[in-house]
Structure 1
């Protein structure tokens, strides 16, 4: 059980002993996307060259794309139905069909409004998806609204080459994949080729360069993206109209990792790819001592580049699959939950129960938890399973704005003589950030960022503050969330050990349907209600609707003894006046509401007992038992906590 948290169970079954994570293969976690679908890849990715067909004569433009294991090109990032909604998507399809005639017949321009999109990233997704699906249209931003109309540049190019070639060329321009080349169909007319050269130079000369080349007695035009440093401030007329909306290059993929923390895996991939850890986004953090599958998106890296580095990732226990273009980063919490496939080995009864009772003990345990759920504690992974200094301690120092202590806690070494621990010990002993940086492995991106800043700015209060600012925002706020999670665990224990196991006056309850009130840490305050005396008497709510606040500056606290407990507990840590906002580090913790209870879904289990003969002596055969267990949990719920309720001990 976590530090300072009293054991709390929802069922009174006996439980059993056993061990988990004997091998990472005994603990497999598969992320479930927002539709509840597993992100598990069906096969290894491969690069294929496909030729995009044209509606008119010929085929042009060899374009490198990425296929998944089934050989199907992923277009997830360009799904207009998902981005715009089915009704607007259908209307856009009709508009596009009508405007094809405008392109061919040189008719007056028409336009269509797609709606308003308040967030910049939303608008970027719309721009990119529309242009990919309908290259002959251009998108224009007006305040937060987006209009589409015929692109005059497309119209002009389609008079020089076939519409199919023009479509493929504009997809090439919008993709901006580094190192890519577009080739027009062979053209024997020098005068005509000159016209194409002049058009591209005039409209896109800051972005691309063109060259005619001869092959097998035919001459064609190749278009290559300029090196980034050679591009002008503008990338042609097409993008200048709304260049502030241009989407970055994003590549999505499924990451399989083994015996690695999510942030550690990101740090390693960032070092290999030459980008920052903050260029990676993900929906949730996964266990270290496990095999895990999760969705990720990386910015500024093409799918081809990811594939080039696949072998380096594999040497570190990571495999990438289902690599595809993406339109935007992932948001933390943008998942329905996780599916777990677990094996618990060496099962034994607690106390005086005999081994013959094991099957009955397992059945009672699993069925009880299926029916009653478990206390929704944050698991030890939230704080650092085996770390000497845990994440919540760092978070507390940050909330006190004691930057020096927070840095020293962050750089506290673990047991072991590997390079990262040697580097940390050297810094704590000498304070020499430069020498410590030379010792720190390249893939420890967080530690290297901090040491580099400490070397530059010093290790005083201001220098340590700058060192924290050198880390990505998500990493900085992680430590504050860890502290708030620790308090939530303690509050849950206090609530269940002090108050009845039903909603009482002053408790907070969520009025949404229970499955919707999953622990996504995004509960709306408007749906949180304070239980009245009359509602307690009428049993208006159930315990599974009770939520507890994660501390922050925008939450309300229970209006009973639990609310007083929160005040006293924060005062104990000298945070009575804490605003949960650290301006110097650009951190703000509004707080949220987390359900007191969680329930596993789609539970299946199987007990296996094997007789193993003794190697020597007349002793009777020895039996070993293992339990195979599978279930789904909502996001931010912990399988180890569910197992603790089932087994009635630390798994």
Structure 2
């Protein structure tokens, strides 16, 4: 978080505060997730189900590591798997599929031969129109019209029934794979398919015919292979073609051909992507297996921990789900759920990951993935060291009284529910909200350069980033980037494969899991929320005013609560004091939120205009990102607050009710203060501490 942004923050309490340091070590900041049932996840028994509904824990075959790599690999083209073309079938994952050589050795698999397709066209269109279509097709194909002439079309007539139109589309495409059928109202017209023409510039006409017959077959049990190709740059062009036009439907991979036991040229194989349900992850035909566990990590980012577990298990990071991101410099415990990994497989890696400051325990079956925000909150055990009075404080004032007043005020009034510094990348030259803004403006190249902007220092990571900024050589930078920098390496692999242009940058961002991509957008929206909260408090103070938004059902607002009911405060509500400041919420920008009906409305509008987002719809189709927005409570309060002094010279506390819990002894000067409290989900302990101490932490 920038200094300017933090300086603009507002206080709730009027106490003086005190000084101290936090996070001297990871063990000084312990975070334990609280699940939706109100339990600390560290206390859940291994046989305790995460879900309240019955669990159907069936035995499933373990997904092949080779299949996972085929599906998700962002590796460069020369990292390939060998296949033996001397056999009639090819093993893909755990499933044996016929090699579908559409248009190469056979006209098509599960598709009628060309003459049968012709009779079907004649039956549907009549002999006269079918003959005219045949003549048009020959003329269009032989003429190979230029771009300006490619819009020449031929009408097949009108068809009132949708089923009729579908049959015509299918029959014409089967008979003439190089033609494109287009419906306008009830009329169907055909023209030369520009994508077919473009593919014919890369491969033979026979291969192009086979590819489009395979595409139109929509048979997910087969795959299509181009002819063996020893030219890597040419293979890249074919990969790019398929990705550019059919990336959401098809996926490609190069395999090394084996002929009579000897290695030959690489073969590009194409197959249909697995179906995606409700925008979520890929699903298999059989019911998926889910395993929940508690993850304890030390001094590590959540996303890096997930990448480490994925590597150990031979799966992909997107197979893991969790309720939220936890602090890096801390000891944190949280629930995770992994798909298609058995309890025994997790047990097998328990010992190996301990050397990486990771621990998994409480392994248990689950029924589904976790959703972001699917938690009640977090419990914090924090040690503040070197506690002392502020330099400008009254020298006669008691440190004991300062600490006591601060604790009591936070319990009484709470704190402004700001997003904490870790949301934005504390101390970095380029913060995540800047990257998020570039993504929202769909300037993907600029966002990528911001992503690789180096920090001060000459460590391996910054050396690699500087090399990329100066040379834009993704392959050389990848060799320099340390293995543990998961996100950077994923991006660099994609750039190496797809290039540094707009398409390459798009593919690079898409190589990151959805949870990683959306974090940058949320970071920008969080910055806007923080600034809006400061403006709201400076303009209206702690009073509920007309036009405010309030949460009527008192649900805790967090990043997952997009549809909570909000009410616009009326003059009558203000007069009758119907609502309290604790119910006031502010919107996070998005396409489905409503904004307050007072001065905040114009403030939001001006803030977005200033950042060049006046026309933003908060949707980025190229990156598959949608930002509906949500509502967040203006104030937050700690629960179950317990505190005591640790070490130092101690004297008996003058106020018997000062310490709630284990100790009533306070040091005369210095020492360490232990705090223990819980916060609702999406509230930050560092922000709570900042309000208590009245200084940056």
The normalised TM-score by structure 1 is 0.68
Distance 1:281 1:23 in 2: 28
Partner of 2:586: 548
Distance 2:310 2:61 in 1: 21
Aligned pairs for 1:220-235 (under 5 A) are 229-231=93-95
Query: Please, which of 467, 470, 484 is the counterpart of residue 525 of structure 2?
Result: 484
Partner of 2:53: 83
Residue 632 (structure 1) shift = 0.4
Would the alpha carbon gap of residues 264 and 562 (structure 1) be closer, same or farther in structure 2, given more than 3 Å must change?
A: same
1:236-275 residue CA offsets vs partner (Å, 9 max, x unmatched) = xxxxxxx966332322211111111111211222233322
Q: Is structure 2 residue 310 aligned with structure 1 residue 270?
A: yes
Q: Is structure 2 residue 635 aligned with structure 1 residue 597?
A: yes
User: Does the 8 A contact of 2:62 with 2:340 survive in 1?
Assistant: no
User: Does the 8 A contact of 1:349 with 1:355 survive in 2?
Assistant: no
Would the alpha carbon gap of residues 75 and 606 (structure 1) be closer, same or farther in structure 2, given more than 3 Å must change?
A: closer
Distance 1:269 1:409 in 2: 28
Aligned pairs for 1:524-535 (under 5 A) are 524-525=563-564, 527-535=565-573
Gaps of 5+ in 2: 65-90, 98-219, 222-282, 651-666
Aligned pairs for 1:121-270 (under 5 A) are 129-130=55-56, 132=57, 174-176=59-61, 229-231=93-95, 246-270=286-310
1:557-594 residue CA offsets vs partner (Å, 9 max, x unmatched) = 11111110000000110101110001111110000000
Q: Give the number of equivalent residue pairs.
A: 469
Would the alpha carbon gap of residues 548 and 433 (structure 1) be closer, same or farther in structure 2, given more than 3 Å must change?
A: same
Would the alpha carbon gap of residues 648 and 75 (structure 1) be closer, same or farther in structure 2, given more than 3 Å must change?
A: closer
Partner of 1:452: 493
Residue 440 (structure 1) shift = 2.1
The normalised TM-score by structure 2 is 0.64
Residue 355 (structure 1) shift = 7.5
Would the alpha carbon gap of residues 462 and 356 (structure 1) be closer, same or farther in structure 2, given more than 3 Å must change?
A: same
User: Does the 8 A contact of 1:176 with 1:249 survive in 2?
Assistant: no
User: Does the 8 A contact of 1:348 with 1:355 survive in 2?
Assistant: no
Q: Which is worse superposed, 373-382 or 290-299?
A: 290-299
User: Does the 8 A contact of 2:557 with 2:631 survive in 1?
Assistant: no
Q: Is structure 2 residue 402 aligned with structure 1 residue 517?
A: no
Distance 2:95 2:502 in 1: 41
1:627-649 residue CA offsets vs partner (Å, 9 max, x unmatched) = 11100000000000000110000
Distance 1:357 1:437 in 2: 56
Residue 415 (structure 1) shift = 3.3
Distance 1:268 1:386 in 2: 25
User: Does the 8 A contact of 1:359 with 1:607 survive in 2?
Assistant: no
Partner of 1:643: 689
Would the alpha carbon gap of residues 328 and 604 (structure 1) be closer, same or farther in structure 2, given more than 3 Å must change?
A: same
Partner of 2:387: 347
SS at match of 1:610: coil
For the aligned residues, what is the CA RMSD? 2.5
User: Does the 8 A contact of 1:609 with 1:626 survive in 2?
Assistant: yes
1:588-645 residue CA offsets vs partner (Å, 9 max, x unmatched) = 0000000000010011111346239xxxxxxxx9942221110000000000000011
SS at match of 1:636: coil
Distance 1:334 1:352 in 2: 43
Distance 1:255 1:415 in 2: 32
Distance 2:458 2:346 in 1: 32
SS at match of 1:624: coil
Which has more radius of gyration?
2
SS at match of 2:303: helix
1:434-484 residue CA offsets vs partner (Å, 9 max, x unmatched) = 111122233322212211111111111221111111111111111100000
Distance 2:300 2:476 in 1: 27
Aligned pairs for 1:8-19 (under 5 A) are 8-19=10-21
SS at match of 2:674: strand
SS at match of 1:4: helix
Distance 2:467 2:350 in 1: 34
Partner of 2:248: none
Partner of 1:373: 414
